[in-house]
């Protein structure tokens, strides 16, 4: 992108005029004509800079559509956001047909986080006093984000933000509506008819009213579901379901998978190293030995079927309520098992992925794209700094020292990410810092663009503004 110098040179002094007094070191008392000449040159320089900046502003305005789409690459104008691969590069395409990188911020919330130990949300008290209403706060915040080069309101944001004519996403919590628990890592029984009923009901409630909204990009089905061993549990999903009562649909599905490939109970006993008398007695057990090759194969097979069932039911429920908008996946917490990726591939339009490393996990992202053939949206990343005064003891990612460090890491991370042709954007976590006293799960980190007093972290947002301005052109050259 062509840019203006920060301090453009003024018109050079003309030789043979009073300006020579300065160049030759003459005392000002000998020839005061240099003052008038310098003033004239200075004014000419300021006027030239002003006109150049105005021209740049007009060009920038002309190169963006009402959604923030960039006219440097054109796709189809369908009336809703969709994806296209153009000359080897993936894009979101605005309803008006222009290329769009989703540069978003999560949890843009009027109240932000509640601090259980305080019994209130500290940021909410500040915004209520400063703005008086969520609507006025949303208007000011939307203008702020736009001035910093962001064009998308991400997950967990206030309803008023979606009313500001700004592109946005919505998280549906479909599995959560059917019993999944993010904090505890509890998983829903996707094989139960009650799961399908719950997700259809949730999708009808949330998606149907938004089906004609051109500023809605699409839906996340859930966030950071557990697919096996992670920070919440060391068990596989097969072990989870074997531990359930024998009449539950999920356990029955597990046993159907376990019996595949075994034409007799003796064959099963030998492969699994069990000593039960028959399948009926074995099916009442709440655990099986998991060290054999047969057990590991069964874990993978169950996970693949579980994932495929989950993603298909979620996709079907969303599209039944709203066929116009994108299905953007379930926001993987880092690398997902291959079986889950295989089960997901045909049921999402965009893959969503969260990561809190200092650099993008390039090989993981490439493998994810190769396995699915779908574009990828990074839906959480952030950096937190010790100079914020917040504890930074709970929450993903290692802290850095200063706000300058946060700004530098953002710059490096985003520019590396956007040079990958299959990426279609990123969503920063989050708009406001977490309370020092901790939110519902204890997180107490400096993730915000603003602090609890609604004051921007100036060094960070200034760098973000600079970086965000040139990303579409950079992405168009990625291969």
Give 129-174 pLDDT, tens digit per residue: 999 999 999 999 999 999 999 999 999 999 999 999 999 999 999 9
Read off the DSSP letter of residue 14: P
Where on the phi/psi map is residue 2: left (φ > 0), alpha (ψ -120 to 50), or beta? beta
Please tell me whether residue 67 adopts helix, strand or coil conformation: coil
Does domain 72-234+302-476 bear CATH number 3.20.20.80? yes
pLDDT of res. 58: 40
**In this structure, are strands 423-428 and 152-153 parallel, antiparallel, or unpaired?**
unpaired
For the chain, the domains span: 1-62, 72-234+302-476
pLDDT of res. 110: 99
pLDDT of res. 186: 95
> Which parts of the chain sit beneath pLDDT 50?
1-42, 44-59
281-301 in b/e form (b: 16+ CB < 10 A) is ebbeeeebebeeebbeebbbb
- The tens digit of pLDDT for each residue in 75-85 reads 999 999 999 99
Helices (runs of H) and strands (runs of E) counted in the chain: 16, 13
Tokens 């006027």 belong to residue: 47
pLDDT of res. 13: 28
**Distances 33 to 10, 20, 43, 47 between C-alpha atoms, Å:** 18, 10, 16, 21
Nearest by Cα to 234 from 144, 299, 175, 159: 299
């Amino acid at each position: 992108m062509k840019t203006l110098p920060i301090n453009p040179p003024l018109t050079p002094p003309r030789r043979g005029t009073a300006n020579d007094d300065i160049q030759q070191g003459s005392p000002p008392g000998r020839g005061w004509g240099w003052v008038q000449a310098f003033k004239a040159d200075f004014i000419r320089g300021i006027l030239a800079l002003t006109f150049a900046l105005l021209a740049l502003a007009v060009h920038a305005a002309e190169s963006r559509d009402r959604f923030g789409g960039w006219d440097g690459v054109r796709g189809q104008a369908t009336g809703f956001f969709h994806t296209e691969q153009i000359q080897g590069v993936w894009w979101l395409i605005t309803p008006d047909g222009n290329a769009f990188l989703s540069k978003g911020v999560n949890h843009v919330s009027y109240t932000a986080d509640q601090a259980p130990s305080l019994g209130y949300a500290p940021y909410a008290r500040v915004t209520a006093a400063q703005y008086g209403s969520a609507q006025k706060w949303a208007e000011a915040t939307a203008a702020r984000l736009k001035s910093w080069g962001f064009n998308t309101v991400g997950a967990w944001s206030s309803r008023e933000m979606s009313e500001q004519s700004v592109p946005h996403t919505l998280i549906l919590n479909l599995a959560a509506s059917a019993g999944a628990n993010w904090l505890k890592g509890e998983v829903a029984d996707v094989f139960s008819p009650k799961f399908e009923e719950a997700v259809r009901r949730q999708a009808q409630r949330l998606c149907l009213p938004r089906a004609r909204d051109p500023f809605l990009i699409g839906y996340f089905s859930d966030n950071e579901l557990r697919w096996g061993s992670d920070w919440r549990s060391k068990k596989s999903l097969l072990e989870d379901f074997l531990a359930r009562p024998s009449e539950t649909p999920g356990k029955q599905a597990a046993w159907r998978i376990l019996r595949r490939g075994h034409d007799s109970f003796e064959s099963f006993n030998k492969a699994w190293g069990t000593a039960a008398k028959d399948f009926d007695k074995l099916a009442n057990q709440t655990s099986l030995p998991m060290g054999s090759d047969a057990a590991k194969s069964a874990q993978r097979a169950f996970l693949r079927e579980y994932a495929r069932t989950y993603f298909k039911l979620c996709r079907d429920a969303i599209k039944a309520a709203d066929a116009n908008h994108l299905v953007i996946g379930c926001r993987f917490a880092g690398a997902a098992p291959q079986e889950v990726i295989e089960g997901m591939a045909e049921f999402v339009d965009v893959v969503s992925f969260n990561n809190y490393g200092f650099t993008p996990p390039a090989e993981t992202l490439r493998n994810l794209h190769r396995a699915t053939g779908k574009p990828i949206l990074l839906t959480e990343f952030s950096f937190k700094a010790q100079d914020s005064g917040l504890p930074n003891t709970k929450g993903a990612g290692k802290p850095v020292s200063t706000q300058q460090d946060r700004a530098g890491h953002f710059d490096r991370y985003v520019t590396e990410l956007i040079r990958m042709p299959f990426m279609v954007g990123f969503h920063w976590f989050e708009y406001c810092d977490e309370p020092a006293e901790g939110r519902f799960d204890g997180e107490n980190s400096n993730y915000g663009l603003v602090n609890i007093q609604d004051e921007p972290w100036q060094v960070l947002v200034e760098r973000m503004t600079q970086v965000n301005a040139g990303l579409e052109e950079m992405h168009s050259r990625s291969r």
